[in-house]
Amino acid sequence: MDIPKENFSDWYNAVIKEAELCDLRYNIKGFVVIMPNAADVISRMYRLYEDALERKGHRKSYFPALISEKNLEAEKEHVEGFAPEVFWVTKAGNNELEEKMIMRPTSETAMYPMYSLWINGRCDLPLKIYQSCQVWRYETKATKPLIRGREFYWIEAHNVFADEAGVLAQVKEDMETTEEMIHQSFGVPFIFFQRPQWDKFAGAVNTYAADTMMPDGKALQLPSTHNLGTNFAKVFNVKYMDDDGEEKLGWQTCYGPCISRIFAAIVSIHGDNKGIILPFHLANVQVVITPILRKEGADEVISFAQTITEQLSKKYKVVADFTENTPGFKYNFWELNGAAIRVEIGARDIESRKAVVVRRDTREKEFVPFEDLPKRIGEIGEEMNKSLREKADEWFATMLKEADTLEELKSAVENGGGFVKVPFCTDELEGESCAEKIKEECAANIRGSRYGVNEKPSGKKCIVCGKDATTYQYAARQY
């Protein structure tokens, strides 16, 4: 493929299809088939993410996909937030069900009734449980493969603590996990925003969400972590007997990295006109061996390439392309599919005892003596990871902008997009009308205030209503 990434929408659709990431021909709206090329990477991401959570004391579980209507309706704000996009199960076989069920859109209402049974005393806390699963939401907005579907693959971690301090510490830990995985490991930059009060997770006290930026300047929400306070504990009776003999409510958090969407961000941010580029440790093919075959001496090249393949396979995921396609064809094919490093072996190389080694991101060539290959490939892999992340960070930094007036905001949004920092009256509920105005006039959404960065406007006026600004909020077009 050779499609300019500047037209991101075309590029994205092409890469999904040509790199065989998803098959969009499945005949239910908003549902796609995740094909092996994507699924392999996604399961690798799952493994890394699950390891990180387990290192921090979470344990895995599997909860049922169906939730009773009664459970869903227990928490008022929660049901109002989710009911419009729930898939219902109302019939089984030939019987209309007396008690309807929903396909989980998220699992608070499946898990917390069980938590209520599991938690008795202080010794049961903290309880840190996660599950890796699919969830279903009847999206009414336009769906886009891996970015917004009616089914997606995520991890949800649900924790209970004895007090608010536990909750606050957990929110911080979730942010660190996000940094460790999404930024350090996957090379995807993001900002943690505290969402304004009118845009919290349904039922939460506070919501903190990591937003990344897509190449077309539109924000994409990655994991969010929520301080649930005791809102759910109250309705699901999540209580423990404290040291003082009093029964107290549990304090809860939940954290939800959507692995399939994070994969979309990786593909979108790192990819180039030739196809996908993946961090070395995520690549399906870390090394592709391309023998350069001529009629003369083909056998020798093949057997030599086989030997190299065997050697490298001990350390890396290696594929040798012995098809009869021409070399140029193979290069293009493996670049499209994001093979991290290419090792070319032909008669000339056998002669000189060096292989031509090409890294996917920069497509730079170097000559590496055969005996150095195992070591050098590892080094190049490390270099690639670092440079992918740095390049993404550099670009991301250019997507942070500022505006003091609606005209400036509009112009920033229309010229490349990005996160635009604006002085704003308040992130309390009263601020929503100003956010609506921004949506109408500039097609941008208020994503929240930057978490952990102390920035307070002084002497500034709200970009919309002109009242004294109490907060800097970030506006962006969004997926």
Which residue ranges make up the site for RNA (CB under 7 A)?
1-2, 9, 13, 24-25, 27-30, 140-145, 274, 292-295, 324-329, 331-333, 335-336, 344-349, 356, 358, 363, 439-440, 443
Cβ proximity to RNA: between 294 and 314 the closer is 294
Beta carbon of residue 265, minimum distance to RNA (angstroms, whole number): 16
How far is the CA of 373 from the CAs of 16, 282, 284, 381, 469, in angstroms?
A: 32, 20, 19, 12, 59
Cβ proximity to RNA: between 336 and 412 the closer is 336
Rounded to a whole number of angstroms, the distance between the first and last alpha carbons of the chain is 25
Cβ proximity to RNA: between 27 and 95 the closer is 27
Residue 26: Cβ-neighbour burial (10 angstroms; 0-12, 13-18, 19+) = exposed
Beta carbon of residue 245, minimum distance to RNA (angstroms, whole number): 51
Calpha distance 24→26 (Å, rounded): 6
- Grouping H, G, I as helix, E, B as strand and the rest as coil, residue 383 is helix
Cβ proximity to RNA: between 319 and 347 the closer is 347
159 touches 254 (CB < 8 A): yes
Cβ proximity to RNA: between 98 and 324 the closer is 324
Beta carbon of residue 17, minimum distance to RNA (angstroms, whole number): 7
Residue found by looking up tokens 């093949």 in the block: 302
Helix, strand and coil in the chain, % to nearest 5: 40, 25, 35
Beta carbon of residue 295, minimum distance to RNA (angstroms, whole number): 5
Calpha distance 77→373 (Å, rounded): 58
Beta carbon of residue 111, minimum distance to RNA (angstroms, whole number): 28
279 touches 266 (CB < 8 A): yes
Nearest to 377, CA basis, from 278, 281, 305: 281
Residue found by looking up tokens 């209507």 in the block: 69
343 touches 331 (CB < 8 A): no
Cβ proximity to RNA: between 274 and 317 the closer is 274
Calpha distance 346→321 (Å, rounded): 13
Cβ proximity to RNA: between 115 and 153 the closer is 153
Beta carbon of residue 427, minimum distance to RNA (angstroms, whole number): 20
Beta carbon of residue 246, minimum distance to RNA (angstroms, whole number): 46
Beta carbon of residue 242, minimum distance to RNA (angstroms, whole number): 46
Residue by residue, DSSP assigns 304-355 as HHHHHHHHHHTTS-EEE--SSS-HHHHHHHHHHTT-SEEEEE-HHHHHHTEE
Residue found by looking up tokens 């005791």 in the block: 230
Cβ proximity to RNA: between 257 and 346 the closer is 346
Residue 330 C-beta-side C-alpha neighbours within 13 Å: 21
Calpha distance 148→462 (Å, rounded): 32
Cβ proximity to RNA: between 18 and 383 the closer is 18
Beta carbon of residue 442, minimum distance to RNA (angstroms, whole number): 8
Q: What tokens were used for 405? A: 């007036």
Residue found by looking up tokens 């979730």 in the block: 174
Calpha distance 204→333 (Å, rounded): 47
Cβ proximity to RNA: between 173 and 335 the closer is 335
Beta carbon of residue 86, minimum distance to RNA (angstroms, whole number): 14
Cβ proximity to RNA: between 344 and 427 the closer is 344
Calpha distance 169→382 (Å, rounded): 32
Beta carbon of residue 169, minimum distance to RNA (angstroms, whole number): 37
Q: For 213, which DSSP code?
A: E
